[in-house]
Amino acid sequence: MSYQLDSDSSKENITLFVRQFSSAKKTKAAVILVTGGPGESGASMYSQLETIRRSFPDTDIFIPDHRGTGFSTRICAAEEAVESAGGARLEGAEWGSCFASMHQEAKRTRQFSITNAAHDLDKLIALVHAENTQRPIYLYGVSYGTQLILRLFQLDIKIGVASVKGVILDSLVPMQTAETWDLTHRSHVVDMIGRKVLAECDADKKCHAMMETPSEQVLVQLLRQLQGHPELLTKIPGKNLKLFLGRLLDFPILRDRIPYLIKDLANGQENELKKVLVQMEKAYSVLGDFPQLAPSIPLVSTINGSENNLRPTLTEAQLHQEEEELLFTDAIPGLMLDMTLPKYEKDTYYGKEPQRFPPTLVLMGDMDPKTHFDGAVEHVQALRKNGMVRIVKVKRAPHFIAMFAPECFSQSTRAFITGKLKHDRVCEL
């Protein structure tokens, strides 16, 4: 898709890259996959094609790159080009030249908004519908993709509501004005899940016997020890144990090793750390190696700074004080500080919910360290005032159900699209 984008000095065509995977059999439907971020390209979904095909039998699959990501028009075209010095990822001097161009072309930068991306999605739906008017269309979104889809159904348009038969929201974001769950509080969410992991260890005879003392106590003592001996952190990625432990919560196979890692480090050993680092590399490699896979930091900064930050005046000192007593943390709150890049004005859709939308399925893990289960439940309750929403709770699942609980995802999605999902459900990881 291609159309004009206004900049400060001229007009240019904005190109939206869409990849289509056609059904091998007679097509029964179409599904558009809306990826997360903001900043992730459609390539982050390529590794999940087998699960999507199993969940949507005989369906044509469309995977767009959001504006600002992948092979679509980028905010910093030269610096984020796949053939540039750092590839799609900013590297070295590219950071300075990219951010300078974002200020110089501030009008252009501000057009990379959630609402404009929702209009892009509407245009894609119209094209998919026109290609085959008899084919029902479904939308699947994960994480930020759920926010983008909900924005779509706020727009004053007809095609988005009329042509979409159903919506699947994977790892639903909280309501936009829910301060408890906003991005500057991400470390608190991560800490809740991390402490839950430690509590599970204490309740398990084998794990508790290995730890010998309560898990939280072992971790608190370890963190105090590291404060006095920072040289011991040299083997920890990023030299920050709290952040490293927070990252492990994203993968069940790594999350389950956290108590053993803590115990090993407390005893001055590195064997478990070496094993975890090998497992972590394997876990990330599942996403594949695509040239456009790297997330767009300029887009993340623009969108989050403009309308996903409920505490824009938060200081580094305040954040440090808030996170001092936490045992697990996340990098996102720190990235939200002092965001001086151009921001767009919040529009009339900010903080509101759609008044009309198709039947919707929400899939949530109760150990999601990014979009907390309780925040999703609050959001579902708000959405139910205006439409039919079913929620499937996946026990012990983290963020991104399609990836980490594919059987639960496929079973629930098939039941939903065939009209057999009549009530909320609980599913085991």
Q: What is the pLDDT of residues 280-298, one digit of tens each?
A: 999 988 888 898 989 999 9
Q: How many domains does the chain have?
A: 2
168 and 245 in a single domain? The answer is no
Q: Which of 164, 191, 187, 170 is nearest to 44 (CA)?
A: 170
Give the pLDDT confidence of 5-20 residue by residue, as tens digits: 454 555 778 899 999 9
At residue 327, does pLDDT exceed 90? yes
β-pairing, 29-34 vs 59-64, is parallel
In a domain, 317, yes or no: no
> What residues are paired with 34 via a beta bridge?
141
Give the pLDDT confidence of 88-135 residue by residue, as tens digits: 888 999 999 999 999 999 999 999 999 999 999 999 999 999 988 889
At residue 340, does pLDDT exceed 90? no
Sort 160 into a burial class: Cβ within 10 Å, 0-12 / 13-18 / 19+. Answer: buried
Contact criterion met (CB below 8 Å) for 143 and 308: no
At residue 221, does pLDDT exceed 70? yes
**Which of 261, 285, 309 corresponds to the end of one domain?**
285
**Which of 285, 314, 339 corresponds to the end of one domain?**
285
In a domain, 358, yes or no: yes
What would the mean pLDDT of 213-223 be, rounded to a whole number?
95
116 and 249 in a single domain? The answer is no
Q: Which of 288, 290, 289, 301 is nearest to 38 (CA)?
A: 301
13 and 130 in a single domain? The answer is yes
Written as six digits, the tokens of 317 are 């000192």
Q: Which of 118, 89, 145 is nearest to 370 (CA)?
A: 145
Helical ranges in 67-185 per DSSP H: 94-104, 106-109, 114-131, 144-152, 159-162
**pLDDT the model gives residue 11:** 73
In a domain, 87, yes or no: no
Give the residue numbers spanning the domain of 63: 2-75+112-175+353-428
